Amino acid sequence: MAQLRIAMAQVNPTVGDLEGNCRLVVDYARRSAEAGAHLVVFPEMIITGYPVEDLALRNSFVSASVKATHDLAERLAAEGLGDLPVMVGFLNRREGLGARFGQPAGAPQNSSALLHHGRVQLTSAKYHLPNYGVFDEFRNFVQGDTLPVVRLHGVDIAFAICEDLWQEGGPVKAVREAQASMLITLNGSPYERDKDNVRLELCQQRAREIGASIAYVNMSGAEDELIFEGDSLIVDSDGELVARAPQFEDALLVTDLRLPEATQVSPPSSPIDGIRIVRHTISSRPVAPYEPMEPVLTPRPDPTNDIGEVYHALVTGLRDYVAKNGFDTTMVALSGGIDSALTATIAADAVGAENVHCVLMPSKYSSEHSVADAEELVKRQGMHGRTIPVESIVAAFDEAVTLDGLAAENLQARVRGTVVMSLSNQEGHLVLATGNKSELATGYSTLYGDSVGGYAPIKDCWKTVVWDLARWRNAEAERAGEIAPIPENSITKAPSAELRPGQLDTDSLPDYELLDSLLDAYIGTDKGYLELTIAGFDPELVKKVIRLVDRAEYKRRQYPPGPKISSRNLSRDRRVPITNRWTP
């Protein structure tokens, strides 16, 4: 057995910021060297950020990525880090591949590169290209066909990229044939509820299949709608968890391992599942024995209640969206209800209460307790608050255009939307839309009214989850000896848009417990009318909800982006036509 100290850099790149991302690599490579690491590995596409989407189809962007990666190798050497092998993910192109029908022009590849002694020593590209959910990699990349195996201090280490671990065959099968002692995967694996244990179980299963340890280095931070929670980990060849990094923060996970020494292996006579094994030797002699570090095993929250994990994910998504898009402050239209209260609280935790500007816009239908609850929330958290009554604005509009019924109700919401967007233009705040997934699914929101904004922090949270999140956040504050940030009345009172006298959400929608379970079955698993009724839902209710969901697609297309926390959000995960006469 040989000793090896592996550093996994769980970091937060920004798409397109090649210089900033390379600085991250240099910084963490230096920290890894200072920690005595023999190798440092970074996440998938660290040089360009991930996902790059159709930027991969721009020849200039691919060229910039390739140049930045070669320049980075030289820079590492110039800064005294050339002796440390550094594995990074980058956007490359497959040279010599002519244009093929159905493949991206220019042959871009989601690739990895080994940087050592001032040079790119070898490259390889992702073999399995995911084309489901939020992924469009068949659109953006062409397939790789090699498995790099690097001999480092007498240990053979294979490298693969994200999806290559999730799929049977291909690189996974080639690792076993190569008799590598370890497989390290570079990942940009987005957060979803319940995915945490699935990821660990996958690594354990694959480790037992290939008879080798597995190191899984994942990205942190957020990019548009995707959140990357880190959770980098290492399991041994028996699938036992050896080390684990924290969630929702940057980290350098440094771990000492004892791995089987490499033996002379005859090269296979032909590719394995289309994969050629490419070997590169850095050093064949094991390092002298040394005292290993204690492994880091960051504890996980209670697996039976992941609502705190979801809350941290939402904060991460908003924090990075604000920072990476150049905003300093946010604005929330505060009604006194639970949705806007939770949105404002998430904003305060993400960017600081001093950077949250709340606007109270009461109309003649606003209840006294709603106004009081909104004012109390601002006071408890130390946010900026201002009150702009909208009754006179609505009345002026109504004098010019006579409206009644639903049109008059929607006018109030649109006036409020105009007010906050005007203040955003004037003062530079990022407006946060406050709608939840239940409302977005059923179209229970006003286009150009409460749907306006640049980002929607709770758009992937069912209404019942919104309540759970609010209760969790208050409980956390109380455990810390602090005042609960959200007034209890905002949580317990019956939800209402307050656009007409005595209005309640239940006037138009069923109870949210029932509605959310039905929506989750229809949207989350694509069950149709028959399957839903067999599952026990009332047939008339199923018809009504399906009709509401399908008719609201045009609204969802115009809704701001927001963090994905479920396995099926109402954006890139679910793409259906707006014009659609199919009845499931």
- What whole-number distance in Å separates Cα of residue 584 and Cα of residue 578? 15
Taking the chain, what is the end-to-end CA distance rounded to the nearest angstrom? 59
Q: Which of 34, 67, 137, 162 is catalytic?
A: 162
Q: How far apart are CA 242 and CA 234, in angstroms?
A: 5
Q: What is the DSSP letter of 383?
A: -
* Residue 44 among the catalytic residues: yes
3 state DSSP class of 426:
helix
Residue 217 φ then ψ, to 5°: -100, 125
What is the Cα–Cα distance from 87 to 459, expressed in whole angstroms?
Answer: 36
| Structural tokens at position 481 | 């000896």
368, with CB counted inside 10 A (0-12, 13-18, 19+), is: exposed
* Joined tokens for residue 256: 């000492």
Read off the DSSP letter of residue 272: B
Query: How far apart (Å, rounded) are the C-alpha atoms in residues 110 and 124?
Result: 9
Q: Which of 22, 126, 459, 498 is catalytic?
A: 126
Q: Where are the beta strands (DSSP E) in 323-480?
A: 330-334, 356-360, 384-387, 430-431
Residue of 22, 44, 203, 564 marked catalytic: 44
Give the number of C-alpha atoms closer than 13 A to the C-alpha of residue 482, restricted to the C-beta side. 11
Query: In Å, what is the CA distance from 220 to each residue of 239, 251, 306, 313, 440?
Result: 24, 9, 18, 11, 28
Q: Which of 251, 247, 254 is nearest to 230 (CA)?
A: 247
The pair phi, psi for residue 111, each rounded to 5°, is: -125, 165
Query: Which of the residues are catalytic?
Result: 44, 126, 162
